[in-house]
Amino acid sequence: MNKTKSTAALEVARAKELGVAAGGGAPGAEETSQALESAAPTAAGDGGVLWASALYAADTELGEGAKTIRFECTAGNKTVAFTVHTDAEYLRAALEENGLISGDESEFGLYVKAVNGISADYDADGYYWSLYVGGEYAVSGVDTTPVTDGGEYAFVREAA
């Protein structure tokens, strides 16, 4: 995506406020993130080693429950789709119970730092996770986004 620096900075600030952007960082995370980003993509354009840490590299069906949602993880030039079955009321619980997201608690809720095992650390590498609901940039964080049967959700790893 082509964005001006000011537009990107506003999106990152908004994402951090909503608790959906990547932040902080574990020791060594900066070096790991830089190594992942500097690696050449494979011929398939899947982001090279960016996807080496992924829990799932192909479309997958997970969980049990009365509601079924579609969840996508996009990083680099690759997207993996998940069909998630859940009884969770909110998206955070639906994704955490299947090991698809992790992060740090903040005053705004979960500060998402990894999706499908792929990290994004705005402070270290300028990338963050953007949450989309129904194809639109989310107006709520992962903690307060309700799960609706048949709903479509996505986290996209984006550069500021």
Domain edges within the chain: 5-159
Task: Say which amino acid occupies 105.
Answer: E
User: How much of the chain, in percent, has pLDDT values that exceed 90?
Assistant: 65
Q: Which two tokens stand for residue 39?
A: 């690696």
Average pLDDT of 47-76? Answer: 94
Average pLDDT of 109-136? Answer: 95
Task: Say which amino acid occupies 156.
Answer: V
The span from the CA of 133 to the CA of 146, in Å, is 10
Based on C-alpha coordinates, what's the Rg of the chain? Answer: 15
pTM: 0.72
CATH architecture of 5-159: Beta Complex (2.170)
The span from the CA of 32 to the CA of 13, in Å, is 24
**38-52, 92-106, 120-134 — which is least confidently predicted?**
38-52
* Nearest C-alpha neighbor of 83 from the set 155, 32, 157, 152: 152
* Nearest C-alpha neighbor of 19 from the set 143, 115, 126: 143
Dihedral in degrees, nearest 10, Cα atoms 64, 65, 71, 73 = -30
Give the pLDDT of residue 114.
Answer: 97
Give the pLDDT of residue 121.
Answer: 86
**12-21, 119-128, 145-154 — which is least confidently predicted?**
12-21
Considering the chain, what is the average pLDDT of its residues? 79
